[in-house]
Each structure stands twice: as C-alpha cells, then as structure tokens.
Structure 1
Amino acid sequence: MEPATPLMNDETETLSRMTPVEAFLATPASNVRSETPQDPEHQYLWRCFPDHVWSQRVRDTSSWVWDFGYDIQNLNGSRRWVCKRCIQNKSPRPRSFAEKGIQNANAHLFKGHGIWAPAEATKSAAQRKAEKMKTKDQRSIADVMKLDTRLPREQEIANSLVKSFDRKHFQRLLLEWIIEENHSFSICEQGRLRQIFEYLNPLVKITDASITRKTIRHRILSAYESHKGKVIAALKQSSGLIHVSFDGWKSGNRHSLYGIACFFRDENSQPRKLVLGVPELRTRHFGHNIAAEILDVLDAYGIQDRIGYFTLDNTESNNKAMEVIGGELGFVGSTRRGRCFGHTLNLSAKALLFGHNVEAFEEQRSDQLTYLLRSIQRSEFEMSSDPRIKARKPLDLIIDNDTRWLSQLYMIRRALTLRPFVEQLVLKHRQQWEQDNRSRRTGNLRKSAKEPQICLEENQLTTNDWDVLDHLARLLGFYEDAVKTLEGDGQQRRRKRGWVGSYGNVWEVIQGFEFLLEVLEDYKKLASEIPDAEHFRININLGWEKLNKYYSRLDETPIYYTALALHPAFRWGYFENEWKDNAEWVTKAKQMVREVWEREYRHLQIVRNSVADEPVAKRQRKYYNPFQAYCERTRTVSGCIVVGGWGQ
C-alpha cells in the first residue's frame, strides 16, 4: 500500500478554518488506487458496486468533494462519486452520485458526515444555513456574563473564565461518561442535556464544544486504532500461547456483535486478559461467517501462530467455526475447543428444573400482582414494633433471565423468602377478583368471569411443592459454588502467600463435573424420602444426564486431562482414586495426555529461570464453599510420580 499523500497548502488552509471536531472529521482519505486487492475498504466498495471499475477519467476533478469520494464508472463509462466515509463505515447503502449531480455530494458530506466545504468553494444550502445560525448565536463570555472588558478587573475575570475551560477536556469527559455508563451515542445530542451544560458553563455553547453521535463513533475508533500498537507489543512480549474466547449478542439497535477477548501471561508471567475487538457480523450466524470475523481480528494483531485454546459456549455454530479456524491456523479445531463451564451448568440446571421442554416455560409477569405483593409486604412491615422491620423495603419476585447463569436459583431463593407474602397474595387476589366480578343484582359471580391463572388449583404451591423448592435451592447452591469458583473476575490480589489470581483453572473443570455428579447422586437418594416427588426425581436424572453428556465431550479436548495430570497436587492419583471402577478411563486419559505432550510440548526448549532465594509460602488449607472443600479432599497425599510411562 502506498503512503498517503501529505496535505497540500490549500487543504491545510481549509482545515485551519475549522473547529478541531470539524478538522478531525474532514481530514480526507488518500485518493490512491494502488492498494492491494485485499484492502477491506476496496473489497466493500466492489461488493456494493459489482458492475463498476475505477474511472478512466479524461477531465479534471477539481471539485474538493473528490478528495472524499471514490471515482468509479460503470460498463457504459458513466462516472460516479462514491462516499469514502460511507464505505469506511460499511454503511449498508453507501451514498453515490452521478458526475453531473456532484453538487449533491457536497450536501451529503455536510449533512451526513459534518464535513464543511472550504471557504472559497461552493457551499451547500445546509452549510450556508448553519453558518448563518452560528454567526447569529456567536457571543463572547463577556456578553453572557455582562462584563465590561474595558475595566481591568472585569477583563481579568473574562480571561480567567476562558482559560479555565478546556474544550477538548470537556469533550473527553463527555465521551468517557457515555462509554462507561453504556449510554446511547445519541444522548449527547439531546437538547435538554445540552441546555444543562450551557447553563453550567456558557463556554460550552460559545466554543461549540458539544459533540455529535458521529463524532463519538469516530473518536472511539480513532482511540482504538491509536492504542492497538500497545496491545500488539504487549502480546509480542507475552510468554506461552494466547488463548481466546468469543461470544455473540445483539445490541439494542439490532446490531449483531461478537466480543473477542484473549488471555495470556505477560513478560512477568502474570495472567492478563484483553478485549481484542467487537466486530459486527452482518451476515447470518453460520460457523464459517463467525470464523471469518475471528480470523480477521487475530490477523490484525499478528498472533495467528501463537493461538492456544478457545473457550466457547455450546452452540452448534461454534463447532463449525472452530473447524474453519483450526483449518486456517493448522490444528484440529475440536482439540482446542473448550466449553464454557457456566453455560454447561446452566443447561443442566434448566433440565433439572424444567425437564426436556425448557422453552415451554414462558416468562409472565403481571404489574397488578407486583403492586399487590408490595402492598402486602408494606402492611406486614408497618404492623411490626421493631423499627428495623418497619424500615424494610418490599421485595419483588425475581424472573428467570437467560443472560445470567443460574438465574433460576435466585428466582427460587426469592420465592422462598417471600413465601408467606406469596400465599397471602393468592388469597387477596382471589378476593379482589371475586369482588370485581360479582353481579350487583344477584351477588353471584358472573358466568363470563374467567378465573385468573394464579388462582387455579393446579397452579397453587402445596406444602410438598415448597419443600421441593427448598431442596432445589440447596441443590442449585452447589452449582453456584462451582460456577463462582471457576469463572473468576480476572483480578490479581496480593496476599501473604504471594499473588493470588481469581481466574478459573482449567484443571478444576474435571473436578467441577465430578463434584456435581456426586452431588446429584446423593440427591437421587434423598428424593426417595420426599413424598410425592416423582417430578423431582425424574428431573434430577435429566440434570445428571445433561451434565454427563458434556462431561463425556471433554475427551475432544485433552488439555483438561493434561492440566489435572500435570498438577503436582493431583497427578494421576486423582484419576486412579476417582475412577477406580473404570480403569479403561484412566488408560485412555494417559494416552490423550501423551499425545498432547508429543504434539505440542516435546519439541520445545526448556528454559531454566533463576529462582529467588525466598522461602516457599505455606499454602493455606482453607476453603470457602463445598466445591473448594471437594477439591481439597481429592488432593492426593503422595502424588503419583510421572516418569517415562506417564505415572504407570
């Protein structure tokens, strides 16, 4: 790619007349054609205009708008101007105009991208109107504050006010606030918010410091590009492989986005994580489309040859994506594909609660019932003589949420907390319904009255139902322990025993499965003691089957077995103890670990680092939940020594 041509004198003069925001937006892209066919902007240009080629122009393009547009022609030789900004932003319908209607490009650049025409050039009607309004509204701080600058004291006040306002700093603070609070970019254009800013400091309006949603987008992209080099340098200095996780979601304005994060050890061997990109998937979510976006991001950071393992959710499209990614990067995709433990446990929890037909349970919520439930709680609190109870605020029922792991557990816990109020809610709602549907003449219920769902006998929770909910809350509490231990928050904390990370550890995944399968086996026995708990017993089996299904799939990714076998506190002793009734499982695991060693690590050079002369910190034998207690219990007393034959 040829270097961009420097600004000419007339371009420099043009930019000097603009505000910083206008200058930022109006810097023209290079009008160079000799870029490689792989240039993404040119690829998108030809995708939008497939029957066009570069213009073989014979006349001069003296108009300034050609600096901001592509010059192309169709098979008949008719020239068109295509907006570069639209192509750069990948607009679904990039604006283009015929050569004879080039004045329309002038208006589009101003209205669509905030690019002002040079002073000596022909201006669009919209720009002329904006300039007229700007001149009309232009006032100095002295005018606004009613200061007489002929008086030294008041002149000093005016100068002090001007110096105290940093336009760029104001815009930076506004930009950071919008990003940190996850506001819509359009919030900066709200008239009421701008009035507040101008009331607090008139210089916001005087210096034209307000920004637009398009400015925000451009500045974010600019900041991303400016910091990209630092990220590339940090990844280059990292030791070992770089691991990747990605997932997709749809934004409120219906953009399909994929978040891509990487996990690695820095030059000091401390675990780190970084977000690499949030590309938009403009095509259908097929595996090969997802893979193309991921590969583009990895290529942009130059880390294709250092990729380790992927952690993804269980959607089928990710299987195909990993197959394509592996094919491009030179490995078998399934062997590098880890599965999100939280997502797996969430699937098992849903099977445990809802059986096979999870989607049949719809989310329903009545505002009328919500207000009634709050009223019942308030009445109860107000009758108490305890000031602490009187000060309590009513609680709402929690509804299942697909974006939060184990949200069903929090729903059940809240229901158990509100049990006395829920039972009153049913009675009061029935009374209210009967009162509203009685005939004034006869006093009887109208025949057309339809009994509310909440009042139907089959929808009432019996004492046994509440007991089952209590057991489910306890059971799902074990799921919560495993998820919280394994998900971590990515933060490093200094403790007496050294740096302690809160990342989930790959060797704990097998332990998590074994722990929960063991818990479910115990609850199978407990279910036999619960009266009329057939549904409970069946769904425990369904939860167990779902968990075991994904446990079996760990065979596709041998690194899980490798990590646990190489852990000095577990080694092969863990497998031999936990799988003592399945010797063939241990043999198969040893074979998979050896294959990982031969394929990935045997050829690597061993680097011996100097060890600081510090005493090894004692490991605190503490655990904070039953899963951690299980991990502690399964540590082998005398680990199986791995020599030659992998612990045989």
Structure 2
Amino acid sequence: MLLSAHRHLPLNFVTWPEYQALLTAVNPAVQEFLTDSGNTVAADLDRAYDAHQQSVKKWLEHARSLVHIAMDVWSSPQRKAYVAVHAQWVDEAYKPRKALLGLPNLRRSHAGAAMTPHLMEIIRKYHLAPRIGYFTGDNDAKNDTCLRQLAVGLSQEYGLTFDPVSSRTRCAGHIINLSLQAFLFATSEDALQAAIEQAQDEANDVTVSDALHDRIQSNTCQKSHGRRNKRNDTAGWRSIGPMGKLHNIAVFIRNSTVRNDAWDDIAGKALGIDNITRWNSWFKLLDAAISQEGPLSIFLNQYHEELEDDILTHDDWQVLKMTHEFLQPFYQATLEQQMEWASIDQVLENMDILFLQFENAKVSHGRAVRSITRLVVILKQVKYVNNARMVNSVHMGWWVLSKYYEESDKNPIYATALLLHPEKRRRYLDRHWAEEWRQTAIAGARRHWAKYKDRPLSSDSAARLSNERREVTPYERIKQSMSVLDEPGDEDEFEKFVNSPPRHMTTNTPLEWWCREEQRIEYPRLHQMAIDILSVPAMSDDPERVFSCARRTISWDRARLSTDTIEKLQCLSNWVKNDLIRKLYVAIDDEIMVVAGDDDDIPDPSLLY
C-alpha cells in the first residue's frame, strides 16, 4: 500500500511478475500469500484510509493551537477539479504539524458556494469546529464567498460565531505574483483594474494573469483585423517590450528539437521558459538569459532571419538587466515565505521590503500610502526617467502591491504577528511605520489580546503556580515581602513583551521560540496567543505541493482512477510524509502483524497498511 500511496505505483502492482519474483526470492514461503488481483489492494486502501484517518483525528483533538486551513482549487489532467484542504497546527508536544485533510472532487462549479459543503464535511469528519483557526488562500473572490457561507454553516450547525473577514488571510506569494504580473503586463491602471475585476467574477474562472495576457493578445488581434495566428501571438508578446521578445525566443527554442539541439550545442544548458502559473518563472528566465548573454547572442545571430523583430538590441539587454535587478527582491521574498514553517509574521515585513524597493525606484503616484518610514506622496520618477516603459511597469507593480497591502488592515493578525516576533516587537513599528499606522496596528493587537488575557491558565501553568504558593516558613514570608520582583499577573504580558527590547532568537522560527518551556512559563497566557497566530501559514503553497504530488499519481496510464481513490491515496501519502502515521501493519490469514513503528505506540488491530 505504501508503494501505491507514496511512490505512485498502480494499485495492481502486486500482480506484477517481477514484484512477486522479488518477494519470492527474499522468502520462498511468501508464494502462498501472493495476490493475483488489484482489487485486494483497493480494498486494503479503503481500510487503511479509514483507520489512519482516526489517528489524524486524534492528533487534531490534542492540538495546542488553533487548527489553520490552507486551501486551493486545481484542475487535473483528468478534466476533474479538486479542492485541497490542508491543515496546520501545533501538537501536544509543542511541535508544528501539517496534514492533508481532504482532496474532494469539486463538481460542476468552482464557485465559493460549491466549496463550502466540502469544507463543512471535513470540519464534521475531524471535529474541527471548536478549534477552527484561520483560512489561507489566494485573492480569488470565491474564497471570500466560501468563508461567508462557512460562517452561516458554523452558526446554524454549531452555534459558533465565525468572522469570515478577520479569519481570512491572503497567500503572500500570490500577492507578490500579482504585483509581478502587473509589472510585466499591465499597460494602465484602467486595464489592470479591469483585469482584477474580471478575475474577481466567479463565473469567469480566470486569473488576473490570464486576463492581462488575453488583453495583450486581443489588442494585437484588433490591430490585425481580428486574425489570430502564431505571428499575431508573438507580436502580442513583443508589445510588452524586451521581456516579450525574450519570451518569444524561449518559445522559439522550445518548439523545435532542431533549434533546441542548436541551443544546447552553444550554451550547454537549458534556457527555460516562463509560465503564467509558476511564481517567479519570469525572473528565472531573465536570470538564465543574462547569465548566458554570450551564447544567446550567438544563437540569435544564427537564427536572425527566423526571429526577425525579436532580436535583442543593446538597449533591450539594458532593460532586461534593469528588470532583473528590480525583480530580485520579489524572487527572494517568495522563497523566504516558501520555507518550511514560514509564518504569517513574514508577510508585512516582506511587503515593506518590496515597498522600499519601489520607493528606491521613485515611483510616481498621486495617493498617500504606508511608506516604510513615513506617510508620503511620491510625486516624481527619477531612477528610470529615461525609460518610459520601465516607469509604467514599476508604477503598475506598485499599484497592485499597495492595493493588497491595504487589505491587510482588515485583519489585525498581520501586525500582531510582527509584534509577537522576538526580534521585532514594537520597535519594528516605531522605526519603520508612521505614527498613524502604528497606533492602529497596536490597538488591533490589544483587542486580539483581550480574548486571551483573562483565560484560565493551562493545567501545567496552574500546577507551577500552586507549587510556588505552597506553605512557606516565616523566614521565607519575610524574604518574599522584601522582593522587588513582580508577582505573577501583576504586569500585562502583552505590554511586557512588546515593549521589551528585541533580542536574537536561538531558534529557527518565532513559533519555535514561543513553544519553548521558558516562554510558556514567563508568558502563561500570551504564549497561547502567540502559537495560535504564528502557526498560521504565510502562503497556500502546501495545497500546491499536494497538486504536484497528485499530478504524478494521475499519470497518463492511470487516468481511470476514481476521484475517491485519488483523494485517499494523496491523504495517505501526505500523512506518511508528515510523520503522522507511526505504525504499519500487514494482515496474513487474518492475523495482524506489526512491521514498523515506535515501540510505545498502542497497537490498533484495525490499522492495516
């Protein structure tokens, strides 16, 4: 079963003569137990999924933090749509955990209202309602609709109050990607706003990138009296400048084995190609082209006639190098937020870095925005004053980033996460934000803290306090009366922490820092708020990884797999990967045998693998 779920082998691999010969060579006695039908594996898959699902449910029931959800929708090669529901939390031992909770088939509609029933079913199945945390997804309007419908469902079924606005966090990588796409493709604010509105219409099922690309191509077709062909397509890309030319060159190389071989002979390594759905693929193409400028110039000289207007001039190369330099922070910011256990505390800091990149470029704009150092209206373009296209590109990227930065004001969790970072605290806001923004952010964090400050102490914190309050001797009573230390509870934990000087962490993440025992002792209530917030993912990249894994499962010769089987295979694979399955069993003549697992695990006869 593990080979099917985790290594993407067909369910009937147990019938392969080569596989059976290998088992027989290891142990001839196994011959009588070999199966000649893949149906046996399918039945075992159902039993294994049901049993291990109970184990995952126990992990969630003992969570120390809220259970946060990252979700996304994917269209598979089968022409089926799936919604991935991926959870993240802190377990009983104060270790961060992840798990795919479901990959249900989304039939007939991709709208948010169609996603909600699947989400409610998963909440019921794993008993998540009392522990539901934040939902992370891209900026698609269907996610807003889904959470509004979810709020209604949770209220009707569980009597819970769920705020679909403050419980919604936006995938930071998606915001960066949108800003990058605007930088590359948008020609005006009106065109950009139209593309965003088109993408927000759930009935369209298009992305901002798709909408911008379609506008580029449609404008070219109109100039060519509506004729749409390969030449018009390349002309459309060429209309965005040197980056469009580079795209056409990459496509030109890829679309012919002869030209690909010619490029390989010259450069010895692939140039690559951009992809609308791959974040930062344009930067990678730029990086490869600039590092191989010499070989690319030789190739362009060889195919000068075929490439015609896509030949890169000296001025084009200068623009490409400026673009590469400008986009580097976008690339690194995305990588930072894709790291294992990247948290929401990174979101505003990375957006501040990108805003500073725009400010350094002296972007012209007529509105006041949250500057890194002050509230400012930047009126004059300087760095790229001699390149009108670059001026417009920087302006378009800034416009999108500012639009989604303002969205973060609707949810205090972003600024609260910054304040709870041991290396930032209030000093970060005092040093980098204007007074108006600081006061709003701190007030929001205090309102959030009010939900935690009067909570009963956890059992281990209460036990420590009771030990400290044991009967004391007269000497100890006098000594305590002379103490200048604060009594537990005398000082507000939140104010104490955020107003203390930042200090270097000896841990990899702020979440890990807060999970340490010394922080749990010093901040018996604040640490709970900290792990609830800092366990929220910065991006919805875990569902993307699930889709990549599922794509390998649904190979061209496995297209007949049912959606239910695909969901179970992906869940089991994910649970193994995330170390949630601790004990593996095999069944021989109805006898359950342990083949792997921790010695202290409690055997479960129903757990078949």
Counterpart of 1:15?
none
Q: In the alignment, does 2:447 pair up with 1:595? A: yes
Counterpart of 1:522?
360
Equivalent position amino acid for 1:178 in 2: S
Counterpart of 2:271?
397
CA deviation after TM superposition for structure 1 residue 296, in Å: 0.7
What is the distance in 2 between the residues matched to 1:466 and 1:621? 44
> Partner of 1:305: helix, strand, or coil?
helix
How do residues 265-414 of structure 1 correspond to structure 2 at under 5 angstroms?
A: 265-329=90-154, 330-355=161-186, 356=192, 357-359=212-214, 360=216, 365-366=251-252, 367=254, 369=256, 371-378=258-265, 380=266, 394-414=268-288
Which one of 422, 432, 437 corresponds to residue 296 of structure 2?
422
Given that 2:67 and 2:88 are in contact with CA atoms closer than 8 Å, whether structure 1 keeps it comes out as yes
Equivalent position amino acid for 1:512 in 2: N
Equivalent position amino acid for 1:465 in 2: D
Counterpart of 1:535?
389
How do residues 142-541 of structure 1 correspond to structure 2 at under 5 angstroms?
A: 175-182=1-8, 185=10, 188=13, 194=16, 196-197=18-19, 209-212=35-38, 215-329=40-154, 330-355=161-186, 356=192, 357-359=212-214, 360=216, 365-366=251-252, 367=254, 369=256, 371-378=258-265, 380=266, 394-430=268-304, 452=306, 454-456=307-309, 459-489=310-340, 503-524=341-362, 528-529=382-383, 532-541=386-395
What is the distance in 2 between the residues matched to 1:215 and 1:509? 48
Q: 1:234 to 1:622 in 2, by over 3 A?
A: closer
Unmatched tracts of structure 2, length 5 or more: 155-160, 187-191, 193-211, 218-232, 234-246, 364-379, 466-502, 509-525, 527-609
What is the distance in 2 between the residues matched to 1:593 and 1:235? 27
Q: Rg bigger for which structure?
A: 1
Given that 1:239 and 1:267 are in contact with CA atoms closer than 8 Å, whether structure 2 keeps it comes out as yes
Equivalent position amino acid for 1:486 in 2: Q
What is the distance in 2 between the residues matched to 1:509 and 1:253? 35
Once the two structures are superposed, what CA deviation does each residue of 1:358-403 show, in whole Å capped at 9, x if it has no partner?
Answer: 443778634465532532542x57xxxxxxxxxxxx2222122244
Q: In the alignment, does 2:430 pair up with 1:604? A: no
Given that 1:265 and 1:272 are in contact with CA atoms closer than 8 Å, whether structure 2 keeps it comes out as yes
CA deviation after TM superposition for structure 1 residue 529, in Å: 4.8
Q: 1:218 to 1:347 in 2, by over 3 A?
A: farther
CA deviation after TM superposition for structure 1 residue 295, in Å: 1.3
What is the distance in 1 between the residues matched to 2:88 and 2:282? 30
TM-score computed with the length of structure 1 as normaliser: 0.54
Q: 1:333 to 1:592 in 2, by over 3 A?
A: same
What is the distance in 2 between the residues matched to 1:621 and 1:536? 42
Unmatched tracts of structure 1, length 5 or more: 1-174, 382-393, 432-451, 490-502, 612-617, 624-641, 643-648
TM-score computed with the length of structure 2 as normaliser: 0.58
Counterpart of 1:553?
407
What is the distance in 2 between the residues matched to 1:279 and 1:182? 19
What is the distance in 1 between the residues matched to 2:31 and 2:93? 49
What is the distance in 2 between the residues matched to 1:556 and 1:307? 19
Given that 2:185 and 2:213 are in contact with CA atoms closer than 8 Å, whether structure 1 keeps it comes out as yes
CA deviation after TM superposition for structure 1 residue 206, in Å: 8.2
What is the distance in 2 between the residues matched to 1:259 and 1:621? 34
Given that 1:524 and 1:540 are in contact with CA atoms closer than 8 Å, whether structure 2 keeps it comes out as no
Given that 1:374 and 1:395 are in contact with CA atoms closer than 8 Å, whether structure 2 keeps it comes out as no
Q: 1:341 to 1:529 in 2, by over 3 A?
A: closer
What is the distance in 2 between the residues matched to 1:622 and 1:294? 34
Equivalent position amino acid for 1:354 in 2: F
What is the distance in 2 between the residues matched to 1:375 and 1:311? 45
Given that 1:188 and 1:211 are in contact with CA atoms closer than 8 Å, whether structure 2 keeps it comes out as no
> Partner of 1:606: helix, strand, or coil?
coil
What is the distance in 1 between the residues matched to 2:128 and 2:507? 39
Given that 2:70 and 2:85 are in contact with CA atoms closer than 8 Å, whether structure 1 keeps it comes out as yes
Given that 1:464 and 1:531 are in contact with CA atoms closer than 8 Å, whether structure 2 keeps it comes out as no
CA deviation after TM superposition for structure 1 residue 510, in Å: 1.1
Q: 1:228 to 1:199 in 2, by over 3 A?
A: closer
Which structure is higher in helix share? 2
Q: 1:278 to 1:423 in 2, by over 3 A?
A: same
Which one of 419, 437, 447 corresponds to residue 565 of structure 1?
419
Q: 1:299 to 1:571 in 2, by over 3 A?
A: same
Q: 1:332 to 1:509 in 2, by over 3 A?
A: same
What is the distance in 1 between the residues matched to 2:381 and 2:344? 32
What is the distance in 2 between the residues matched to 1:343 and 1:517? 16
Q: 1:352 to 1:221 in 2, by over 3 A?
A: farther
Q: 1:531 to 1:621 in 2, by over 3 A?
A: farther
What is the distance in 2 between the residues matched to 1:531 and 1:461? 22
How many residues are treated as equivalent by the alignment?
387
Percent sequence identity over matched residues? 25
What is the distance in 2 between the residues matched to 1:312 and 1:464? 40
Q: 1:271 to 1:376 in 2, by over 3 A?
A: closer
What is the distance in 1 between the residues matched to 2:507 and 2:301? 48
Once the two structures are superposed, what CA deviation does each residue of 1:94-153 show, in whole Å capped at 9, x if it has no partner?
Answer: xxxxxxxxxxxxxxxxxxxxxxxxxxxxxxxxxxxxxxxxxxxxxxxxxxxxxxxxxxxx
Given that 2:264 and 2:270 are in contact with CA atoms closer than 8 Å, whether structure 1 keeps it comes out as no
What is the distance in 2 between the residues matched to 1:216 and 1:524? 63
Once the two structures are superposed, what CA deviation does each residue of 1:442-480 show, in whole Å capped at 9, x if it has no partner?
Answer: xxxxxxxxxx4x222xx2222122122222222222112
What is the distance in 1 between the residues matched to 2:93 and 2:7? 33
CA deviation after TM superposition for structure 1 residue 513, in Å: 0.8
Q: 1:569 to 1:531 in 2, by over 3 A?
A: closer
Q: 1:530 to 1:559 in 2, by over 3 A?
A: closer
Q: 1:577 to 1:327 in 2, by over 3 A?
A: farther
> Partner of 2:142: helix, strand, or coil?
helix
> Partner of 1:334: helix, strand, or coil?
coil
Once the two structures are superposed, what CA deviation does each residue of 1:223-262 show, in whole Å capped at 9, x if it has no partner?
Answer: 2211111111111111121111111112221221111111
> Partner of 1:311: helix, strand, or coil?
strand
CA RMSD in angstroms comes to 3.2
